[in-house]
Structure 1
Amino acid sequence: MWEESLSFWLMFSLLNMGSTSFPPVRVGNNMTLQCSFQVPFGNDLRIHWHHYLNGRRAIVHSYYNGTEQLKDQDEAFHGRTKLSLPGIQQGDASLTLTDLRLSDRGDYRCIIVNGGNFKSSNISLQVSAPYERPQVRILSRIGENVTVECSSQGGVSEALMVWRDEEGNTLEALETPVVVRNKQEICEVRSKLTVTVERDIAVCCCLTPEPRAEELRVCDTIAASQKQEAPTLLDPKNIIAISILTLVGVSACWAVVRRQRPPQPVPVRMVISA
């Protein structure tokens, strides 16, 4: 009997209830959807959270018979919903969604069945997925040829990624930027560039998420290879080293010469007595 009454109330609420809206919440963050009811309540208290998107209804979370009931929970919400059981005792039926996905956007309905009383409130949830600031890193350096890569992720639509020099001139990338989507339909864009670095130069990676969106730009300076100068004989350190080596060499040669010289005869003085 209560199921029929609940169905009637839901149809009525669809026609008469507005939605509470909030600023967009970023993908991956947590969000608590507020819902409350009057206390005290009886043993037949029921709390239901439903999600509506593109004409489809999904069961998000349920509570009845004094405990959470998740057997009918939609698979997309498994392990990502939570009611505060202590809060229920205070009339708080708020639902926390964790690790938000793009598919979590849409309308949520909190339904409270407390004896013969019904309450329904709607909340509109917007989920944003803006691209992150591009990052540039060096992949390889062969002589004066340096290959760099630019990457950015977080968007839901393909983005335009181009390379420019410090004067704003377009640089030709090695290949067309690669766009990869994950299971949550979030995009990652990557592009590679090879430049000849004879002196320190700056390269800029520019990302435009949508045709009219603000450009995300990051510039990085690539340093030229450091060439080590050949040491000169006039270097003070070299002069000292050469002087020490010369003294050591002369001393060694003198010692060898002394050992190789034959002994000199000692004159004998003869004395003749009368």
Structure 2
Amino acid sequence: MGGRTQTVLLNHNATISCSVSGPSRLDLNITAVTWFWKNPVTGTDDKVFEVFGGCSKAFRPGAGVSLQGLVKGNASLQLPEVQLWQAGEYRCKVVNTPNMDQGTISLEVVACPVISLSVKVKDNDYQHLLCEARGFHPKLINITWCKWDQEYSQCLNISENVTTNAVIENDDKTFNVTSFLTRKCSPEHAGTYQCMVAHVSLCTPRRRNITVPENGSEPKSNSGMPLWIIFPCLVIWIGVCCVTGPTLLIVY
């Protein structure tokens, strides 16, 4: 039953699904459920939670399996405010005397990037547009630039004069990265520029716009973006683009 992956956002609650198919109602007096997590450091299978004969014990704070749900065949593991270190392989072992079965599932913990777009004046002739992505996980991320063409109402990709720094790991194991677009301070380079960030935690790429005026006045960020652009992580969890995981099915 391996090979399945479930994704959860950092600091969100997770329910790792495990379903027991058999009798319409399980007898908790002869049913035992044990959840294990494969420790990536030691390689051992550490107990997370177990229940037997209606008595339960959590080996990780907040972990649990609903006894009311277990009677109906739902042996799903509930974890509160999941952290990055809790990612990895989980194993659900169910004993319904005299039968036993088990299955594994991988939990992936992701963190959405916080995006900001600003301008740094290099000198009187050039400016740096800075697109910063902070606090994301995993490490892989893609940042691209474009400039809005008013005549054709489209954003034209920019590849020249773009520099993206190496990704930096934070103490909490999330990552930061900055991308620079260097432009000359001239009327032909005025207009609206867009930084687009793509990451596995986002349903769609996240965008930030900034308008650079011709007269050299202070550039203005575009604050009139739709909710789904400003809060993409919120969208993931209210059903528009819901990240869901598979269910382990244990059959007797």
Q: Does the 8 A contact of 1:162 with 1:170 survive in 2?
A: no
Q: Name which of 161, 172, 175 aligns with 1:171.
A: 161
Q: Does the 8 A contact of 1:35 with 1:121 survive in 2?
A: no
Q: Does the 8 A contact of 1:107 with 1:122 survive in 2?
A: no
1:34 aligns with 2:15: no
Q: Does the 8 A contact of 1:111 with 1:118 survive in 2?
A: no
Rg (Cα) greater in structure? 1
For residues 167 and 110 of structure 1, what CA distance do their matches in structure 2 show?
48
Q: Name which of 65, 72, 76 aligns with 1:83.
A: 65
Trace 1:201-240 onto structure 2 (pairs within 5 A): 201-205=191-195, 220-225=210-215
Report the number of matched residues: 195
For residues 216 and 209 of structure 1, what CA distance do their matches in structure 2 show?
9
Query: What SS is found at the alignment partner of 1:157?
Result: coil
1:138 aligns with 2:126: no
CA apart distance, 1:150 = 0.6
Amino acid at match of 2:28: F
In terms of fraction of residues, the more strand-rich structure is: 2
CA apart distance, 1:98 = 4.1
Query: What SS is found at the alignment partner of 2:103?
Result: strand
Aligned to 1:49: 35
For residues 88 and 108 of structure 1, what CA distance do their matches in structure 2 show?
18
For residues 169 and 112 of structure 1, what CA distance do their matches in structure 2 show?
55
CA apart distance, 1:151 = 2.0
Trace 1:9-20 onto structure 2 (pairs within 5 A): 18-19=1-2
Q: Does the 8 A contact of 2:36 with 2:48 survive in 1?
A: yes
Q: Does the 8 A contact of 1:163 with 1:205 survive in 2?
A: yes
Q: Name which of 17, 21, 26 aligns with 2:4.
A: 21
Aligned to 1:125: 106
For residues 162 and 175 of structure 2, what CA distance do their matches in structure 1 show?
23
Query: What SS is found at the alignment partner of 2:68?
Result: helix
Q: Does the 8 A contact of 1:136 with 1:205 survive in 2?
A: no
Q: Does the 8 A contact of 1:164 with 1:203 survive in 2?
A: yes
Q: Deviations over 1:33-74 (max 9, x none)?
A: 2233742232x643211123654312111224633312xx2x
Amino acid at match of 1:223: P
Aligned to 1:149: 130
The CA RMSD measured in Å over matched residues stands at: 4.3
Aligned to 1:251: none
For residues 207 and 54 of structure 2, what CA distance do their matches in structure 1 show?
54
Aligned to 2:240: none
For residues 164 and 203 of structure 1, what CA distance do their matches in structure 2 show?
6
Q: Deviations over 1:112-171 (max 9, x none)?
A: 345x42422203225264875x84522567988655321225342355657676563522
Q: Percent identity?
A: 16
Query: What SS is found at the alignment partner of 1:82?
Result: coil
TM-score, normalization by structure 2: 0.55
CA apart distance, 1:27 = 3.5
Could you list the runs of 5+ residues in structure 2 that have no partner in the other structure? 148-155, 218-252
Amino acid at match of 1:148: L
In terms of fraction of residues, the more helix-rich structure is: 1
TM-score, normalization by structure 1: 0.52
Q: Does the 8 A contact of 2:28 with 2:53 survive in 1?
A: no
For residues 172 and 52 of structure 2, what CA distance do their matches in structure 1 show?
31
Query: What SS is found at the alignment partner of 2:34?
Result: strand
Q: Does the 8 A contact of 2:145 with 2:157 survive in 1?
A: no
For residues 85 and 100 of structure 2, what CA distance do their matches in structure 1 show?
26
